[in-house]
Structure 1
Amino acid sequence: MGVFVAEERKRYTIYPPPHPSAHGLCFSVQKPVPPPPRVLLLNAVLTVRAHNANSHKDRVWEKFTPSVISWLNKNLNGVVFMLWGAYAQKKGSNIDRKRHHVLQTVHPLPLSVHRGFYGCRHFSKTNVYLKDTGRELIDWKAL
């Protein structure tokens, strides 16, 4: 992972930058607000060349991200997985749906967002699940 991305950074602009601040990214908060508990956004591929979508797909991240999903699946209970898009749904196909809550819809890309992402209510459904299981709700507006 590190060697590939380091070599790419020598030749190209790679996002995110090597030392990104969380602000401006999904679920970000500004200091001094502490990061929200139990909120994780995990893309299947974590880096990309500027202006070259999927340029790091099938290169290095395909072992790492499934390992994270597998660890969460095996070691935690009651995780809410939001699988957006066919690629994420494929990555999440082994999630134990008896132990975790899985929500699926199309990817929120501009070309597909109107085919089901708008109106999927994943954020409110997550809070319903958290409330029903006696856990703290997420204030999505504060993120």
Structure 2
Amino acid sequence: MFDSDALFDLEPAASDSVGFAELASLPLSGLVAEDWAEALAPVETELHSVLSFLAAEVAAGHTVLPSPSNVLRAFRQPLMAVKVLVVGQDPYPTPGHAVGLSFSVDRATRPIPRSLTNIFTELQADLGLPPRIHGDLSSWADQGVLLLNRVMSVRAGAAGSHRGKGWEKITTAAITAVATRKRADGSTPPLVAVLWGKDADGVRSLLGNAPVVASAHPSPLSASRGFFGSRPFSRTNALLLEQGAEPVEWELPVL
């Protein structure tokens, strides 16, 4: 029998020890953090349906990214720990790049994808932080930055290929859950939403009164049309401080 706890024991780069078909058979409590399981309960059927679709993709001979052990990685950190939401589009379609956190790659990945290179360029211009030679953004996730792709999987080599397969309903529920959380005392936890590009801006209506930092997408096609110079990192930290929250340490650990 498959051990549902094993999913949380896997290293981020682990791949084939768990299959999508196995994930599709698990309850939410075996797939995501405890409070995420409660928040996503209304779309549990849709999530299992998407995971079954991914299993069918693999059975048909397609490579699905990210790996089964990483496809729900964004929901491993507790929902209540989220203080920054960064919305991406869908995972990198290049094999070896997608790791389940939007814009992030494994620290061994070379070259760094161009969108992420542009993010690092803006990070340096905004905060004076030197670009890292790796693109592992897991230290951001560990601080409560939810790196969430609107569509959480892709067929290798085919950007956008899993749009309209059910992920949108799941991530709508996730974003709504982030925006409507309440502490035990009824207060609202701090939150800043970072929306890069038109796809990300489409979730604005789900965010209630949460402050938004929005700009063009960091892709090579649009970064020069408003992403560069937008200072998202300093603006986000200022908004967190206004809400009484600790700012994010955006500098990445050295290898």
Q: Please give the TM-score of this superposition, normalised by the length of structure 2.
A: 0.50
Q: How many residues align?
A: 137
> Secondary structure of the residue that 2:251 maps to in structure 1?
helix
Tell me: CA distance 1:35–1:67, structure 2 relative to 1, closer, same or farther (3 Å).
closer
Per-residue CA distance 1:33-59 (angstroms, 9 max, x = gap): x95231111111010011101000111
Contact 1:108 1:117 (8 Å CA) reproduced: yes
Q: Report the 3-state secondary structure (helix = DSSP H, G, I; strand = E; otherwise coil) of the residue aligned with 1:82.
A: strand
Tell me if the contact between 1:26 and 1:41 (Cα under 8 Å) persists in the aligned partners: no
CA contact 2:217–2:227 (8 Å) conserved in 1: yes
Q: Secondary structure at the match of 1:83?
A: strand
Provide Cα deviations, 1:40-89, integer angstroms capped at 9, x if missing partner: 11111010011101000111201100000111111153311111111111
Matches within 5 A, 1:13-32: 13-20=63-70, 23-24=106-107, 27-29=137-139
DSSP 3-state at the match of 1:142? coil
Q: Distance in 2 between matches of 1:59 and 1:92?
A: 22
2:163 to 54, 57, 61: 57
Contact 2:175/2:206 (8 A) holds in 1: no
- Give the AA of the match of 1:14: V
The two structures, once aligned, show a CA RMSD in angstroms of 2.1
2:216 corresponds to 1:94: no
Alpha-carbon offset, residue 132 of structure 1:
2.3
Larger Rg: 2
- 1:106–1:52 Cα change, 3 Å: same
Structure 2 CA distance, aligned partners of 1:135 and 1:47?
Answer: 32
User: Which is bigger in relative contact order (C-alpha 8 A, separation at least 6)?
Assistant: 2
2:217 pairs with 1:112: no
Which ranges of structure 2 fall in alignment gaps of 5 or more residues?
1-49, 71-98, 101-105, 108-134, 183-187
- What is aligned with 2:191? 79
User: Which stretches in structure 1 are left out of the alignment for 5+ residues?
Assistant: none
Q: Work out the percentage of aligned pairs sharing the same amino acid.
A: 36
- One-letter code aligned to 1:17: S
